[in-house]
Amino acid sequence: MSIMVGANLEQMAGLENQFANESVAVNDLIARINGVVGNTTWVGRYADEFRGKWEGEFKTALNNLVAALEEARTVVGTNRQNIAAATGQGA
């Protein structure tokens, strides 16, 4: 059985860029929902429930996703650079 050591640096660069783009997209989503929820006249139990869940669960989960994507982007970028340096390939 063969084991692959290293990576396709071009694909890793693409992955790094994709993580960055998706992080921005999730931040944009958070901002859009905040804007709509904050600027919509909506009162009552369901409005209160949604706003509570948005602030307590949903937005927190999306912010956690942003942090995870940014961390993954950094890890992939560092790993790509290290592999490029170790193999003599361009980063």
Q: What is the pLDDT of residue 53?
A: 97
Cβ–Cβ under 8 Å, residues 62 and 25: no
State which residues form the domain around 38: 9-86
Give tens-digit pLDDT for 31-64: 999 999 999 999 999 999 999 999 999 999 999 9
Any idea of the CA torsion for 38, 41, 46, 49, to the nearest 10 degrees?
20
Does residue 91 belong to any structural domain of this protein?
Answer: no
Q: How far is residue 73's CA from residue 88's CA, in Å, rounded to a whole number?
A: 22
Q: How far is residue 64's CA from residue 83's CA, in Å, rounded to a whole number?
A: 28
Cβ–Cβ under 8 Å, residues 9 and 84: yes
**Mean pLDDT across 17-28:** 98
Give me the number of domains the chain comprises.
Answer: 1
Does residue 1 belong to any structural domain of this protein?
Answer: no
